[in-house]
Chains A and B, each alone.
Chain A
């Protein structure tokens, strides 16, 4: 039996992902512990500062890791803009920096709390003895208090390490490569080998770092030189890995971004493929949050990605009125150009939000268009994680006077199956999704045009506006991807087939496009 090709692909990516994961985790841990430790020492005899510090750290802890990471991106964008304006300094608010800062903040509570608890727990008689034998305050701390509190402090550091390594998997959506890339891309493309591989790798890494720190702690506490040497050399080896620069061939000149759904993974692979085919180099940054990716493009952290005209129009530019398709595209081009972003071309298909039902259920209820749904408030609807917060949903409800018994959020790839088995009645699906055909679903008409058109468009970062080589590499794609081909590609990529990686599907898609050209 030959091993699953997805496994060998995962192994190929491992050095890169693991290196990035270690780099961001250890930097965050060093920063977090480096800040917390002196803060704990300074605050422990000051009740007010101590309460404030522990309170703040606890509040940070209650913020979900994903949200904390995502919050740092806009925060740093503002800081970066300010630094540029005030000091002419430029730094990237994307990827490494926000991930490190958020994770460092996350790591602070255990170190703070354990340092303070450990020092508090020392027998006061021993402190008196330390003073009595003639120790200065500093000597008391270094010779007696810290050694006695060490096991508790090290336990805090170990907790922090495990948290940070686990939470670092969530830094993928803000553009930091990590072991989370396996998990995010695996979930989107139903590649369970990737998901399991990512989880296992993160868990093993956390256990290894925890074990090394335990060795250091035991070595210090029990004065076992062997344990100490083993633990410290293990930690040094990890740090050496972190400091080794990433292999140069893995870093392409152009960064292709992708949002968090299957089609985006396929399209990013397609763009990267075209760029590479023209002799340039490209790296993909996948699983980026919808709000992160446009800002990243504007800031130049992502060079190129595919977005949708309606999404940009309503979500990014905050327009409420929806002009006809061609007018919208023109207006969009102009407005984007004003902020430096180039709309370089349309791919030829649209991936619109659409309300979708099974053919049988629609026929039974006599529903042909969205307007008919207004008569059925007893139905339930499901959408992806952002749909019900998007202006399109508000517009739809307003235009048709819709109300549903319940609305549920779902992983996009599971929505179609859910509506097919009757788990929900209506879903907010995507018109380019191959599963519509697979499950024999119907797309409901939108007679009032409440949902804007969603032409897939290629956006270029401001710094790439005049990049002729890039434009030339991408030009063969414009207008060539029809909805049928895209649906087929999406269906293949979402099947979880071992040979249907986004890269493989992208190659198939290109061959289909090229064949179509040849037959013309």
Chain B
């Protein structure tokens, strides 16, 4: 008997090769459940971004298949598919020639939503991502701080009310305070909007704090996947090495900061 509710995203024996070898993935199978917050961690070049791009059909796999809500995405028009998914790109990738409001409103605009409805939605999103400074909508990306830009990027990803959000190092370039605040705010949104989120990060601590489950990529292969607790118990040497850093940090922090 088949599973009555298929996973939101399923990678099935996916292989993607690149000429340089960097970013290739080999025979990865991974299911992201509905409503789950899954982080993908691993060194640069391990294939994290490739998985994300495969899920949005920005590239095609050489072997294997990607399913979204049970349907093979090769059967879906890529443009239509991308409009149903929210993507937060590395370092934001906001369109520099568009105002904040236009950046956020671009996805509903492409979907043919009426201007008045777009304006209302943009206002709600600006409040939702806590960008409620003075006239933020009329400003341009270069006038914003790094944290503000990432908030706009999140708002843009949410503008078409997607159920799936893909994020590539969304908070990577931010200072620790901003990063912490943004992460917390996003998890709250993820819960409130019942999203399925896949987030790429190279920071294992961030992944441990924010995610329901963590997938560890090593040189194109899925080395481990599990809840933070399961990973902590893993005997895989690479996973153990990854978790070594936060363990040492905890020990030092405990010595410096009394509870």
Interface on A for B, CB 8 Å cutoff? 123, 125-126, 128-136, 139, 143-144, 147-148, 221
Contacts and interface: CB of A to CB of B under 8 A. Distances in A.
Given A139-B110, A148-B97, A133 B91 contact: no
Nearest to A144: B95
A135 B110 contact: yes
Contact of B95 (A129, A131, A134, A136): A129
Given A133-B87, A133-B110, 20 more contacts: A125-B91, A125-B93, A126-B96, A128-B89, A128-B93, A129-B93, A131-B82, A132-B58, A133-B82, A133-B107, A133-B156, A134-B79, A134-B83, A135-B79, A136-B79, A143-B106, A144-B95, A147-B97, A148-B96, A148-B97
Nearest to A132: B87
B56 interface: yes
Contacts of A148: 96-97
B80 interface: yes
Nearest to A136: B79
A221 B98 CA distance: 10
Interface string B46-65: 00000000001010000000
B90 interface: yes
B180 to A, nearest CB: 25
Contacts of A123: 93
Contact of A125 (B56, B89, B106, B156): B89
B162 to A, nearest CB: 10
Contacts of B94: 129
Contacts of B106: 133, 143
A128 B96 contact: no
Contacts of A130: 95
A135 B82 CA distance: 9
Listed from nearest, the 10 A-B pairs whose CB atoms lie closest are A134-B83, A129-B93, A134-B82, A132-B87, A147-B97, A125-B93, A129-B89, A133-B107, A134-B110, A134-B79
Given A132-B89, A133-B87, A126 B82 contact: no
A221 to B, nearest CB: 8
Most buried by A among B79, B107, B156: B79
A129 B110 CA distance: 14
A7 to B, nearest CB: 48
Nearest to A129: B93
A148 B89 CA distance: 19
B237 to A, nearest CB: 35
A125 B82 contact: no
Contacts of A128: 58, 89, 93
A143 B107 CA distance: 12
A125 to B, nearest CB: 5
Interface in B69-110: 79-80, 82-83, 87, 89-91, 93-97, 106-107, 110
Most buried by A among B94, B97, B111: B97
26 contacts: A125-B93, A126-B95, A128-B58, A128-B89, A128-B93, A129-B89, A129-B93, A130-B95, A131-B58, A131-B82, A132-B56, A132-B58, A132-B82, A133-B82, A133-B87, A133-B110, A134-B80, A134-B107, A134-B111, A134-B160, A136-B79, A139-B110, A144-B95, A144-B97, A147-B97, A221-B97
Nearest to A131: B58
A110 B110 CA distance: 33
Contacts of B110: 133-135, 139
B44 to A, nearest CB: 16
B137 to A, nearest CB: 14
A4 B32 CA distance: 88
A139 B87 CA distance: 18
Contacts of A143: 106
Contacts of B82: 131-134
Contacts of B96: 126, 148
Nearest to B111: A134
A130 B80 CA distance: 13
A154 B79 CA distance: 31
A125 B91 CA distance: 9
Nearest to B140: A223
A351 B158 CA distance: 86
A145 B19 CA distance: 27
A143 B97 CA distance: 10
Contacts of A134: 79-80, 82-83, 107, 110-111, 160
Contacts of B107: 133-134
Nearest to B81: A134
Contacts of B87: 129, 132-133
A48 to B, nearest CB: 21
A169 B16 CA distance: 60
Nearest to A150: B97
Nearest to A139: B110
Nearest to B56: A132
A131 B83 CA distance: 10
Nearest to A124: B93
Interface in B232-258: none
Contacts of B80: 134
Nearest to B166: A132
Contacts of A221: 97
Nearest to A123: B93
A163 to B, nearest CB: 28
Nearest to B109: A143
Nearest to A221: B97
Contacts of A144: 95, 97
A139 B82 CA distance: 14
Contacts of A139: 110
A270 to B, nearest CB: 63
Contacts of B111: 134
Contacts of B156: 133
Contacts of B91: 125
Contacts of A135: 79, 110
A153 to B, nearest CB: 13
Contacts of A147: 97
A135 B58 CA distance: 12
Contacts of B89: 125, 128-129, 132
Nearest to B97: A147
A12 to B, nearest CB: 48
A126 B93 contact: yes
A132 B53 CA distance: 9
Contacts of B90: 125
A433 B89 CA distance: 79
B113 to A, nearest CB: 13
B209 to A, nearest CB: 26
Most buried by A among B91, B93, B156: B93
A228 to B, nearest CB: 15
A414 B156 CA distance: 73
A126 B106 CA distance: 13
